[in-house]
Amino acid sequence: MKLKLHNWILIGMGAGVAVGVALHAVYDPAAPGGTGPPGWYGVVMWLLDLFGPTLFMGALKMIIAPLILASIVSGVTSLPDMRELGAIGWKTLAYYITTTSIAVAIGLVAVLLIQPGRKPGSRAVRSAAERQQAAYRRTYAEQTGRSALDPDGRPQTAYVAWLQGQKAGAGSSERYAGKLRAIQAAQKRTPGEIFIGDIVRPLLTNPFTSLAANPPNALGIIAFALLLGIACTFLGPRARPLVDVFAALNDVMMQITHWLMAISPVAIGCIVARLVAQTGPSVFSSLGWYCAAVLGGIAVHVVVLVALSATLGGVGPGRLWRGIREAWLVALTTRSSAATLPITIANTTENLDVSPKVANFSLPLGATMNMDGTALYEGVAVIFLIQLFGGLDDVPIDMTAMTTFLIFITAVLASVGAAAVPNAGLVTMVIVATAVNLPAYYIPIIFAVDAVLDMFRTSTNVLGDAVGAIVVNRLERARLGEP
Ligand code: ASP
């Protein structure tokens, strides 16, 4: 019997977990002390890195920029008229905003019900933070000759500023230093600077710079491709040669995607083995309830997406899973919705009868802007940190309705701003944290489990994009003249 591709991918994942567990048993990179890994360990990890992230994800990333350009131009130019582009455009955006908001709301309910920051494992972290706080208060008093607290027992403003300076400078372990630097850099910017720097400027960039950037500037490519497609439609027959070139480029990119899908089981096995070898199961001990809140929220949101697909899209759960499973598994393991985009387009158009006219336009947009899993995760993570550290001298935050509302809005925005690459949500989370005055140096505590959560939020992001394409396709089917 010939196995289907998704079965091969599952076999690859299973083998990856087995190899990863064995490697982790031989050497745990996070364990203090020890004699270091045996000589062959480095070679095995090098090979896993070569065949997983380097070659496979590298090849997927190689085709994203030309694929986004070609698919949007050919999507726009294949539409009967500009009114149709407007109809698909606003329906797609309305779907994205609605489902992302639902995702954040589900996350907030999950974290407020489960209260992961108040569970026994978290209490140990909280006690350690309180002991550290007492030490900081003493050091401040010794150094300045002034008390850290005012006569009412509230922390003095000067002391809090000093404390934040101390903690921000302390940094975290080397392994996470790069991520912490990115977070600290992001926190220094005002919302106005973030809007101009992350949204307006990227939109209006020289297209060759956008295509050549690493990772590619997807917003800039989308804006340019839309303009190009609209102008081609406007010019009609005179622009026909250009339209044909982009249609052919799109087909060629999809052909390369199929070749990459064929080798994906081996590559995915390597990615999983490497991740399990590096992480191991122990990281979940103090963060288990936090992971449960994120994953529980994601599970509920997946049910919502499946229901939307069945009711508005006319695609039932079984057909949806059979149609999208390869993209879902690739998203789960590559942790990048951009890298998965070619496979998402292939799956929806070939297995679920989504018209390329819709998929070519809405899926690149979705991979860039529509991140339900990321939005849900950002809300849960910030509330978890407030539950854990709220009330400490430098975290004077109460979970009021206003705080919850601010987290809701900023989580939606931060997910739109997140790049579709691994761990991006962790960095844009600083937008949410800053809005409620949670210092960014508390974010590293959740770094350890981020890779695992990123797997599930990315696969949810991709599922959300696919369901969006299914729904918009059904709503527009008649006008597109599709059966
Ligand atoms: N890895 C996610 C994606 O590519 C973004 C995130 O970090 O949440 O969709």
- Domain assignment present for 73: no
Q: Measured in angstroms, how far is the CA atom of residue 251 from the centroid of ligand 1?
A: 26
Q: Which of 460, 352, 425 is nearest to 100 (CA)?
A: 460
Tens digits of pLDDT across the chain (483 residues): 567 777 888 898 889 989 998 998 888 876 766 677 888 888 999 999 898 878 887 888 788 889 889 988 988 888 877 888 888 888 999 999 999 999 999 999 999 999 998 887 777 778 888 888 888 888 888 888 888 888 888 888 888 888 888 777 654 445 556 666 666 666 666 767 777 777 788 888 999 999 998 778 888 898 999 999 999 988 988 999 999 999 999 889 888 988 888 888 898 889 888 888 877 665 556 678 899 999 999 999 999 999 999 999 999 999 999 999 999 999 998 889 999 999 999 999 999 999 998 999 899 999 988 999 999 999 999 999 999 998 888 888 888 888 999 999 989 988 887 878 888 888 788 788 888 888 878 887 787 778 889 999 999 999 999 999 999 999 988 777 666
Domain extent for 368 = 81-216+283-478
Q: Which atom of ligand 1 is nearest to the CA of 424?
A: 7
Tally the domains of the chain. Answer: 1
Any atom of ligand 1 within 6 Å of the Cβ of 418: yes
- Domain assignment present for 44: no
- Domain assignment present for 204: yes
Q: Measured in angstroms, how far is the CA atom of residue 238 from the centroid of ligand 1?
A: 40
Q: Measured in angstroms, how far is the CA atom of residue 155 from the centroid of ligand 1?
A: 38
pLDDT tens-place string over residues 269-324: 898 888 888 776 655 566 788 999 999 999 999 999 999 999 999 999 999 999 99
Structure token digits, residue 455: 């797997």
Structure token digits, residue 403: 């705080």
pLDDT at position 177 is 62
Which of 294, 337, 372 should be mutated for ligand 1, with most atoms under 8 A from CB?
A: 337
pLDDT at position 182 is 65
pLDDT at position 100 is 96
CATH, residue 408: 1.10.3860.10
Any atom of ligand 1 within 6 Å of the Cβ of 454: yes
Q: How far apart are CA 413 and CA 155, in angstroms?
A: 32
pLDDT at position 284 is 56
Q: Which atom of ligand 1 is nearest to the CA of 419?
A: 5
Any atom of ligand 1 within 6 Å of the Cβ of 335: yes
Report the nearest-CA residue for atom 6 of ligand 1: 425
- Domain assignment present for 32: no
Q: Which DSSP letter does residue 56 get?
A: I
Neighbours of 8 (CB within 10 A): 18
By the 8 A CB rule, do 363 and 92 touch? no
pLDDT tens-place string over residues 26-55: 888 767 666 778 888 889 999 998 988 788
- Give the 3-state secondary structure of 344-403: HHHHHHHHCCCCHHHHHHHHHHHHHHCCHHHHHHHHHHHHHHHHHHCCCCCCCCCCCHHH
Q: How far apart are CA 229 and CA 89, in angstroms?
A: 14
Any atom of ligand 1 within 6 Å of the Cβ of 374: yes
Q: How far is CA 437 from CA 171, 340, 415, in A?
A: 19, 35, 19
Q: Which DSSP letter does residue 149 get?
A: B
Q: Measured in angstroms, how far is the CA atom of residue 415 from the centroid of ligand 1?
A: 9
- Domain assignment present for 48: no
Residue 359's contacts (CB-CB under 8 Å, 6 or more residues apart) are 71, 75, 345, 348, 349, 469, 473
- Domain assignment present for 199: yes
Q: Measured in angstroms, how far is the CA atom of residue 367 from the centroid of ligand 1?
A: 9
Any atom of ligand 1 within 6 Å of the Cβ of 337: yes
- Domain assignment present for 28: no
pLDDT at position 457 is 95
Q: How far apart are CA 154 and CA 150, in angstroms?
A: 5
- Domain assignment present for 1: no
| Mean pLDDT, all residues of the chain | 86
Q: Which atom of ligand 1 is nearest to the CA of 420?
A: 4
